[in-house]
Amino acid sequence: MHVTAIIAAGGRGQRFGGDRPKQLLSVGGRPILERSVDAFTSHPSIDAVVVALPPALADDPPAYLRAAVANALQGTGKPLRIVAGGERRQDSVMSAFRAVEKASDLVVIHDAARPFASADLISRTIAAAAESGAAIAAVRSRDTVKRTDPASPGSDDRAPEGEHYVRETIPRDTIYLAQTPQAFQRDVLRRALEMGEREGVSATDEAALVELAGLAVRLVDGEASNIKITTPEDMTLGETIAGGGRAAPARTGRAGTGYDLHRLVAGRPLILGGVTIPAERGALGHSDADVVCHAVTDAILGAAGLGDIGRHFPDADPLWKDANSIDLLQRVVALVAGQGYLVGNVDVTVILETPKIRDYIDAMRVSVAAALGIDAGRVSIKGKTNEGLDAVGRGEAIAAHAVALIRSMPNS
């Protein structure tokens, strides 16, 4: 089953106020939009993502979305497209639906202002829609529900602005509060959207259009933490959720470590930090076996919680045979940028008996810095020996250790 997710982020957040769309604001150190998009790009059941943005933002999207699009084009990430939204939510969804691949069997729609939808909730909604045609996440009302009237009982006069009177009490066991994600079989959603356009019907969510089209919508238990950020007060609750139940401190950076070791053999070039160093032997590996780049790559991936180099560039894949490790490092920088991170600085220790690398360190720093997109002053590379101990000390191998600091991108 091919599943495409639509992230509805075309609104301007007028109820929230402020000069910037609320989806660009950060909660728990990450932009709301990034959190929502990442929930679907990282989900194993999602095959492609379409993001609907306000037209001006679609023309100049945030860096993490640009990086995700670039990764998709390079084949290192899921297909991701950006489209311009419309005046209403359903206009944005229709614009995004037109960009959904024809191969998609099911479409999941999620409000970008709900940055905390869990993977389990997404999975359950997809499964229910696959069985029933349409399904939405919703939570049962915990409070007694009152329907109001602008006039007091027994009077035909309207109450002053802001006053309301109870018209009736509605049994709360029949009341559910709709959330997203909402998932639909492709033809079900198409019929509902086309009906809305044809008959000029406005609806606050796609499930309402499906209902008006005479089709059944199944409820899936939602999550209390799957809040919608609508007002500035919601940001306080969002910070608490992002912080695991406590107010989240400002995040200044994340650190990761990396390590790499390769056997030294005759007939191979010795490449360190993208610089070829004259030597009788070079490192043996599936790629160019650049231990500096490999250690830095692992450190950056570790800091972002994205696994290791073998996960992204497996040595069993002929695509990476004799690959340039500077290129691999650049790909990883783009990958973590897609998660909302920039590289702050790196520190590398190369362990090698011979040859001495001191004369090549400046060139290596410049080369690595260019791949990372930072100043060479933020790249440290040191050479050490193992004093004749173990395989490295006997000159049979070369190793490198690295530490990397990454930091959240500033709001853009």
Q: Encode pLDDT of 6-24 as tens digits.
A: 999 987 655 554 566 778 8
Q: What is the pLDDT of residues 37-47, one digit of tens each?
A: 999 998 999 99
The pLDDT value recorded for residue 115 is 93
If you ran DSSP here, which 8-state letter would residue 394 be given? T
Tell me: domain 3-141+173-242, CATH 3.40.50.800, correct?
no
Q: What is the pLDDT of residues 169-211, one digit of tens each?
A: 988 888 899 999 999 999 999 999 999 889 888 888 999 999 9
For residue 155, name the pLDDT band (cuts at 50, 70, 90): low
Short-list 107, 133, 138, CA closest to 121: 138
3-state helix, strand, coil in the chain (%, to 5): 35, 25, 40
For residue 249, name the pLDDT band (cuts at 50, 70, 90): very low
Task: Name the CATH superfamily for 254-408.
Answer: 2-C-methyl-D-erythritol 2,4-cyclodiphosphate synthase (3.30.1330.50)
Nearest-angstrom CA–CA distance, 195 and 191:
6
DSSP 282-343: EE--SS---HHHHHHHHHHHHHHT---HHHHS-TT-GGGTT--HHHHHHHHHHHHHHTTEEE
Mean predicted lDDT score pLDDT of the chain: 87
The pLDDT value recorded for residue 376 is 86
Length of the chain counted residue by residue: 412
Q: What is the mean predicted confidence (pLDDT) over 112-122?
A: 92
The pLDDT value recorded for residue 161 is 66
- pTM for this entry: 0.59
The pLDDT value recorded for residue 291 is 95
3 state SS of 26: strand
Domain assignments of the chain as residue spans, ordered by start: 3-141+173-242, 254-408
Other CB atoms closer than 10 Å to residue 108's CB: what's the count? 26
Nearest-angstrom CA–CA distance, 105 and 186:
5
